[in-house]
């Protein structure tokens, strides 16, 4: 079985985000970038499935500028077999990404697509679901446990009420939650080997996908700084402030 894993390059989660002075977006120049944490979990799960004998090949896919090749190389160093880089300098919306991935799924015919449930930059949580709709593949979102049994896959999902277990026919699409696994660090020998693994370079036009934006960002601003709290003398004063000052009662 082949597993397809989309990976996204984002600002490192431990970096303080700064808004550009012209308020057109966040500052990415000279800022540390890394693989989206949920995508790391997806890559790790694919590797574990390969190590268990359930998978024969892992293909990492990234859509973005030239620097995204570094993200693919990270996935290859972790254990992916080859990469596909869809080169574009545009910032694509989830629907455009899903359409490109749908074309790649059509070409590669994977038995399983494992993707992060969301990227920490946009927090859209849309691409996996859109891809499932475009490909008519069953989906298991927010997966905290995956078990393959022949041509079926059992997914334990995290929901508001606790855990839900569903059975899917493969090929299927899985989106990962944080508790699915703990991603490994790439060893130095594997980092060196990753430099020789193949990465095919494509463009959105190769897949016939119109990437024109459908949403226009008017302005990006920083959230207001959190104000210090106050102490109240009694419950009555607390209720009065919640009602008249905070407006939550």
- Residue 234: inside a domain, yes or no? no
Quick one: residue 104, left, alpha or beta (phi over 0 = left, psi -120 to 50 = alpha)? alpha
CB atoms within 10 A of CB 23: 12
CB contact set of 191 (below 8 Å; sequence gap of 6+): 77
Cα end-to-end span (Å), the chain: 55
pTM of the model: 0.87
Q: Is the residue at 202 inside a domain?
A: yes
For residue range 156-209, list pLDDT tens digits in order: 998 888 899 999 999 999 999 999 999 999 899 999 999 999 999 999 999 999
What is the model's pLDDT at position 28?
A: 87
Per-residue pLDDT at 227: 82
Q: Which DSSP string do the residues of 158-207 spell out, in sequence order?
A: EETTEEEEEEEESSEEEEE-GGG--PPPPPHHHHHHHTTS-EEEE-GGGG
Q: What CATH number is attached to the domain comprising 181?
A: 3.40.50.620
Closest alpha carbon to 211 in 96, 61, 86: 96
Would you state the pLDDT for residue 108? 95
Judge contact between 209 and 99, C-beta under 8 A: yes
**Does residue 239 fall inside a structural domain?**
no
Query: Nearest 5°: phi and psi at 166?
Result: -130, 150
Q: Please state whether beta strands 162-169 and 152-159 pair in parallel, antiparallel, or not at all (unpaired).
A: antiparallel
User: Which pLDDT score, from 0 to 100, does residue 241 have?
Assistant: 87
- pLDDT score recorded for residue 247: 78
Buried b (16+ CB within 10 A) or exposed e, 61-73: bbbbeeebbebbb
Task: Provide the residue range defining the domain that includes 156.
Answer: 2-223
Counting as low any pLDDT under 70, the low residues of the chain are: none
If one counts the domains in the chain, the total is: 1
What pLDDT is recorded for position 24?
A: 87
Is residue 112 situated within a structural domain? yes
CA-CA distance, 27 to 21, in Å (whole number)? 9
Domain assignment present for residue 46? The answer is yes
Q: Looking at residue 30, what is its pLDDT?
A: 87
Would 233 be classed as within a structural domain?
Answer: no
Q: Domain for residue 198, yes or no?
A: yes
Asked whether residue 27 is assigned to any structural domain, the reply reads: yes
pLDDT tens readout for residues 191-201: 999 999 999 99
SS3 52: coil
């Amino acid at each position: 079985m082949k597993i397809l894993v989309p990976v996204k390059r984002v600002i490192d989660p431990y970096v303080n985000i700064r808004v550009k002075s012209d308020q057109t977006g966040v500052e990415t120049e000279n800022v540390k970038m890394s693989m989206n944490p949920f995508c790391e979990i997806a890559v790790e799960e694919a590797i574990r499935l390969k190590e268990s004998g359930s998978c024969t090949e892992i293909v990492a896919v990234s859509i973005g500028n030239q620097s995204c090749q570094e993200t693919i190389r990270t996935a290859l160093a972790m254990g992916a077999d080859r990469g596909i880089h869809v080169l574009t300098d545009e910032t694509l919306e989830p629907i455009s990404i899903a359409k490109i991935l749908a074309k790649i799924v059509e070409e590669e015919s994977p038995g399983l697509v494992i993707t992060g449930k969301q990227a920490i930059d946009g927090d859209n949580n849309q691409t996996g679901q859109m891809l499932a709709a475009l490909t008519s593949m069953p989906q298991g979102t927010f997966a905290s446990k995956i078990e393959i049994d022949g041509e079926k896959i059992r997914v334990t999902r995290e929901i508001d009420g606790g855990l839900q277990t569903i059975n899917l026919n493969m090929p299927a699409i899985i989106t990962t939650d944080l508790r699915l696994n703990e991603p490994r660090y790439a060893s130095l020998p594997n980092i060196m080997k990753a430099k020789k693994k193949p990465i095919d370079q494509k463009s959105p036009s190769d897949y016939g996908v119109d990437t024109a934006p459908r949403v226009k960002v008017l302005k990006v601003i920083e959230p207001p700084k959190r104000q210090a709290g106050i102490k109240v003398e009694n419950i009555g004063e607390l209720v009065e402030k919640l009602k008249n000052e905070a407006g939550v009662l």
